[in-house]
Structures are given as structure tokens and as C-alpha cells.
Structure 1
């Protein structure tokens, strides 16, 4: 029988710390920060874990060659168990979203789940892969906005989607390494994402005015620094480290977006998930 550690590795449990911030940022932008947000964030985590399990099921033959230590090729988790877990987590995520957010939440959660499965089963190894994964993250932000004015959350959704595009593009080269032009291009994208996060937003007073820029700058320094190292030496190890940084430090970007929407203290709380995720990633890889 697989252990809890095996299942945690299968779904890349620490990486799920990067998902609640999507929902919070979307809710803040849409003016929908209410008691439904924690449950919607939980639904987001369940759908994320479902995608990770489905990813390893779909990649089980490739992983047997490139990453034989993963739970399925190593024999610690049976393929059928991984697929069943993914299906169960998907159903649970949709159920939570529907029970908490009703039809408006389901109207986003259902296409989100569909995009997750489409990425794992069809799009991942195609040129459309990064765009499909970016769509997943953008919909995740809009899931948080389902209880408010969703149109106001579209800029935040596009920002998180753009970040996700860069991470996914890098992830396609994390086993074999990349041409240095790839991390250079994603680094330019990260700079644009950080700049877009700082601009605009609601007017605030005092220390709150500094929070979006501080968090966006921290995000750019951490994720951008990892990409700069990959550009200087685009080996598989450096590219993989940049992918991990893009996952681990995403809460900084989400926190900046939340603060930009007028919830500075909450933005700082969201960003606090990043250092925690970094510590956990040392024990269990998020990639």
C-alpha cells in the first residue's frame, strides 16, 4: 500500500501552497472577500492535486526513462491508484466549489477542471501546452472572483496566467536543459509581469502604498534571479531550479495583486506562503 508520503510526492503537496493565493487575489480584485473564499481556495487545492496526479499517470512511461524515482515508475503507487485519486480529487474540488459558490463558482470550476485534464492528457507535450496551463491558472483566479464582479479580476487573472506561461515553458526543458534564449525570454516576461503588477490598483495610504511594489519586487528578484542563473548556465539543474522558483515564489506575486486591490495586510499574509513553501520544497520537490 502506498504511504501518505508517496501520495504527497505524487501530487507534489508543497506546490499546492501556490494555489490559494490565486483565489484570494481574484476575490480581492472582484470585491468578494467573504467567508466563501477559504472553501474556494480549498477547492482550488483539490483541483491542483488532481492535476498533479493525472500528470504523473499520463507521464508514467516517460518517467520510467527520465525520472524513475517518481512514485509510479518506482512501483510505490500503482497507475490505477493515481488515476483514481485524480478523479476523486477532481470530483471533490467541483463539489466543494458548487456547494460553497453555487452556479457562478461551478461556471468557472468546471472549465478549470476540464483545462487541467486537457493539459495532462493532450496538450502538455504540444506547442499549446504553456497556453493551456496558463489558462488553468487564469481560471483559478476567476474562481475566487465568482462571488463578485468578475470583470474587475480579469487583469489579475491575466497577470497570473502570464507568469504561469513562463514557468510552463521552462518546465518543458527541466530534464534535458535548454538553449539560453529560453530563460532569457522568460526572464523578460517576468520583468513585464512584475511591472504590470506594480502599476494601477486602488489608491491607498501610508505603508499600504508600498506593499504591492515590495512584494512584486521580491517576486521578481527571487524568480528572476533563478532564471538569470539558468540563462548563464542553462543546464537541466538550473532550469529545474528556475521552475521550482516560479512555483515557490508565486505567492509573492499573488500577494502583490491582493495588496494592489486594497487588501495590503491580506496580501502580506498570502505572500508568507512563499518562504514556507521554500522550506517544504527542500524536503519534497515541487516539480
Structure 2
């Protein structure tokens, strides 16, 4: 009689597909879009600096955002073991400390690439890298706060890339209207990030992450997220009217009206409908961002 043992040792190196999954390409769109909003809002012709535009898109999306995802997954590996055990790190597809090493190597790459965009681009990159680690890593781990965590992510996903795109193309500080609109859309993104926390509700509750869905419950957290998303956009509409851009304001108002309809559906089942709203309402939200950017572009005198 013979006995056969099937031994499947853990891999020593991460599989390329697992590394791509770790840095989550689906999350790259918001910062790339926001960077392009800043580029448009600057009023500078895109053809005057195509390399800076392309470099900034790569930096904002695959590099900085990808790095932040790797850092977050490494620091959240114990939470993901509860919420999503099939993710690359808890499943073992990213073995050992490779998750940490990937995040650190990408941090260095981000800083090097950001330095090529001049002092404004480089400074924004330093802030983005530090913010990513402050959000995820102990002892700071701002993710534990339902206020500061989503606020920081919203700032880095929407406000910081917008500011950076405008600054890099302008080769200087962005205009006051560009900064105001970037901050308003970053504030509204706090609500988007709150809805994103619904998927980790159980793991957050068990591991002491005080997200708003944990502290307020899904229903109250969803209502607060809706208010936080809607109010900054209403202020954008008011500002565009005051800046004599009524048609842009009207277009954004129509998008907000569609979001209010989507919010009613969301509030009927906050936990179940949150993924649907993230696909529907958020698309309307970021569309308004680009319209606002084109409104600023015309203010800068560029057709």
C-alpha cells in the first residue's frame, strides 16, 4: 500500500495577476479624471504640455492611487481576512511581506515621478504619499475615524489631483475659483467614501474601525452621505451663476436632480443599494466636475 501526499507550498513570489489585483485598476479613474478636470480648468491648451498631462495621469492613477491601495490592503490584511478573504494578501496570492514591499517601492516611484512635474507637482505628490500612509498605517490610521478617514480620501481622490493638474499646467498656483471648486468637490467626495465603507461593515465593526456605517448605522450614514454629496454641488451651482456661467450651472443642476432621484433609491435599502449608487450616482457626480472645469476654462479666456 502506498500513501500519496499532495503538498502545495505557498509561493515565494507574487503572481503578476495578483499584483495587478492588489493595486486595483478600477480605483484609478477618479484621480485621473480629477487631474484632467484641473488641466481643463487651468485654461492652458493641452497641446502646450502633453508630456505633463500624460505624466500626471499616470502618477495620479496607477502610481499614487495604486500605491495607496497596496498600502491599505497591507495594513488592512486582518480586516480583509474577515470581509474579503479572497483578496491577494489574506488569500496568500501575495505571500509574506510582499504587500508591504510593493507599497514601499511604489511610494518611491511616486516621489520620483512627481519630482518631474516641478515644485507644485512634486509637493502634491509628497502630500499624497504621506496621506496614503496616514490613512492606513498605525499609529495614525485615520481610517479608524468616520470623519477624518473619508475626508482625507475624498481630498486625495478629487481635490488634490484637480489642484495638481491646474498647478502643473499653469506652472504656478491655480486660480482662486479653481481651488474653491476643487475643495467643494473633495468635500462632497466624503459622502462617496462613506458609501464605499458599507462593504466592510462587519469587519470594521469587529476590528474597531469607526466608519460612519458602524457608528451611525447604515440608514443614518446613508442619509448623511447624501447631504454631504449634495450640498457642495449646490454651492458650485450658486458660484457658477455668480461667475456668469448660467448654462454650466444649469447642466450641473440637471445632474444633481438625477442624483437626488438615485439617492431616493439608495435610501430605500442603503446597504444593498450602495454598490448600485456608486456606479450610478457617482458617475453623475464626476460628470458635473468636468462641466465645472470647462466653466472655469472659459473664465480663463480659453475657448
TM band (smaller chain): 0.7 to 0.9
Distance 1:33 1:39, change over 3 A: farther
Q: Secondary structure at the match of 2:222?
A: helix
Q: Secondary structure at the match of 2:18?
A: helix
Distance 1:89 1:210, change over 3 A: farther
Q: Give the whole-Å Cα distance in 1 for the aligned partners of 2:234 and 2:228.
A: 10
Alpha carbons 1:167, 1:243 under 8 Å: kept: yes
Distance 1:248 1:74, change over 3 A: farther
Q: Give the whole-Å Cα distance in 2 for the aligned partners of 1:141 and 1:41.
A: 11
Q: Give the whole-Å Cα distance in 2 for the aligned partners of 1:14 and 1:232.
A: 27
* Cα distance per residue 1:139-183 (max 9 Å; x no partner): 222111223242432112212211221112223333336431222
TM-score, with normalisation over the residues of structure 1? 0.77
Distance 1:253 1:2, change over 3 A: farther
Q: Give the whole-Å Cα distance in 2 for the aligned partners of 1:220 and 1:86.
A: 40
* Cα distance per residue 1:129-148 (max 9 Å; x no partner): 12222332322221112232
Q: Give the whole-Å Cα distance in 2 for the aligned partners of 1:86 and 1:188.
A: 34
Alpha carbons 2:190, 2:228 under 8 Å: kept: no
User: 1:161 matched to which residue of 2?
Assistant: 186
Distance 1:53 1:216, change over 3 A: farther
Alpha carbons 2:78, 2:90 under 8 Å: kept: yes
Q: CA deviation at 1:44?
A: 0.8
User: 1:171 matched to which residue of 2?
Assistant: 196
Distance 1:21 1:199, change over 3 A: farther
Q: Give the whole-Å Cα distance in 2 for the aligned partners of 1:225 and 1:61.
A: 37
Q: Give the whole-Å Cα distance in 1 for the aligned partners of 2:58 and 2:250.
A: 28
What RMSD over aligned residues (CA atoms) do the two structures have, in Å?
Answer: 2.8
Q: Give the whole-Å Cα distance in 1 for the aligned partners of 2:15 and 2:298.
A: 40
Alpha carbons 2:70, 2:99 under 8 Å: kept: yes
Alpha carbons 1:187, 1:228 under 8 Å: kept: no
How many correspondences in the alignment?
257
- 1:9 paired to 2:33: no
- 1:108 paired to 2:132: no
Distance 1:212 1:233, change over 3 A: same
Q: CA deviation at 1:33?
A: 4.7
Distance 1:241 1:72, change over 3 A: farther
User: 2:71 matched to which residue of 1?
Assistant: 54
Indicate the structure (1 or 2) with the bigger Cα radius of gyration.
2
- 1:257 paired to 2:257: no
Alpha carbons 2:192, 2:229 under 8 Å: kept: no
Q: Secondary structure at the match of 1:77?
A: coil
Q: CA deviation at 1:184?
A: 1.8
User: 2:153 matched to which residue of 1?
Assistant: 133
- 1:230 paired to 2:266: yes
Q: Secondary structure at the match of 1:78?
A: coil
Q: Give the whole-Å Cα distance in 1 for the aligned partners of 2:267 and 2:255.
A: 19
Higher relative contact order (CA 8 A, sep 6+): 1
Stretches of structure 2 that go unaligned for 5 or more consecutive residues are 1-12, 202-212
Stretches of structure 1 that go unaligned for 5 or more consecutive residues are 265-287
Report 1:15-164 matches (<5 A): 15-34=27-46, 35=49, 36-45=52-61, 46-78=63-95, 80-99=97-116, 101-121=117-137, 122-127=141-146, 128-137=148-157, 138-147=159-168, 148=170, 149-152=173-176, 153-164=178-189
Q: Secondary structure at the match of 2:107?
A: helix
